[in-house]
Structure 1
Amino acid sequence: MNPQVWAWPHKTGLHLCSLLVTKPEESTYSVLSPSVWVSTDHDDIEKVAKAWGAQVHRRSPEVSKDSSSSLDTIQEFVRLNPEVDVICHIQATSPCLHPFHLKEALEMITKQGFTSVFSVVREHHFRWQEVKKGGSVATQPLNLDPSNRPRRQDWDGELCENGSFYIYTRAMIERGLQGGKWAYYEMLPEYSVDIDVDIDWPVAEQRVLRFGYFGLDKPEVVRLLLCKVSGCLTDGRVLISVSGEEMVSVNTRDTMGIRMLQREGVEVQILYIQNKHTAERGSGG
């Protein structure tokens, strides 16, 4: 089979395009697919995508309207690329995808015979019927019995489509995004990030730092910490003893952090100023 990875990043801005594509040999998507495509009608996004090794599907005006759907654009791509067997549609607004997510979901199509697979996340929200403003009708529970309200740990929750990715066969694309023999792929909540409005960015950025995928390289390991006492370990206070001797105050959280680093094998060197012309160095301990 010849799967293609598909995404368009214009919704969330140009810099997310580079996050999406990364280096071809290290990207989340090229691990599984012979080609990575970015769909756009924007010149700058096309330049960034190509610079990072992705191929670009330049959308036609007919499928670049505000009213155009994802299906319209993907169907155009499929018509122009008859060699494609499987489409993996990645949402640029969900930046915490890892290769294992897509690998496992793709195998549901290639090995288990499903025609479409989509991502979901388990949520534990009690839903209530909406009552229009000014209405006098009482609201009603939609997914719980208030007289027997379950604890979170006793309730499996509900599977909700999170829009992170959709994978489907060519035949399924020609008929619609979902259908046939379909299945869901459940993602853990920490990987389920959706950027929809501006206030989602700070949360998404922190989640990416902790749970994001940064390529195949091993992470950098800290081997040495150089730390100056004045201005780094001190908290700005000067204490005077009964004999008139001046002393500085050091936050115990800093010293605790230094001990934690040393337990992990990190060398710690503490720098302190003895006078205006002399600096001495000591080992943290």
Structure 2
Amino acid sequence: MEEIKADEESLIKRHRKEKKDLQAKIQSMKNAVPKNDKKRRKQLVEEIAKLETELDQKHEEELKQLSNKVDEETIKPLENGIECLSMESGEQQNLKSCRISKAQKRRDKKAAIEKERENRIAEAEIENLSGARHLEYQKLSQRLAERHLQIKQIPSDGHCMYRAIEDQLICKGLNWNVQELRAQTAKYMRDHSEDFLPFLTNPCTGDVYTSDEFEKYCTEIGSTAAWGGQLEIRALSHILKTPMEVIQAEAPSIVIGEEYENQPVVLIYMRHAYGLGEHYNSVEPLKETLPEEES
């Protein structure tokens, strides 16, 4: 039974890795298809649903095989040649039956949850083709294409603004990481509190931040995944002595730090990128789109 337990743990671990690998593959597939190509996007949604369904069916079959192995181990014959099952009391048999039934129910429930999740993903992808997220992405892509640029995706982890700036600086040959950018931003804002404090208000009272509240705000900038915004961008433009251009879908671009003469850092601001709302991406040179598939 110890061997079976080890097999079960190994199987669960492998299933998690395979699901993670599939999600990475799906993201790569999404990035490879132009966002304004509705036909290809629809085909992509169907292909993604098929891949996830196939993986879930594979996992379900492997779990079923493991369950059968457990059953076989349970009913192995005893040393005297008499089957274990025939020696069990009625109470033991009922207990085993109950255990198997509960395990099957858990598997059935998990399969149902996964199926519902697949359906939600497929529906969301189709809805996004005409939703705010897709329209915003389309407008930004068109605006960037005029400058021979395209959106470079940045993870949505609370550090997106700093990661987008980090990515732009790397392209300029400057080695700043997210932690350094956050630390320097917090320090600059503390040292120039009079430039930032008037723009920070308590969301509950509407009053301007107190000194303690401002200190807490700066601490969160430097040591947590607190989201960054226009104030932090302004601080970073002074730190790096570089203009920061923020491109939006529904409004003209904003340039912060125009007094500096360096080539600007270009950021993409998106209101509808994720369920949580606001998000920053970087940009990269426009790549050729994939040729249309033969019908």
**TM-score band w.r.t. shorter chain:** under 0.3
More helix by share: 2
* TM-score, normalisation: structure 1: 0.22
TM-score normalised to structure 2 length: 0.21
Greater strand content? 1
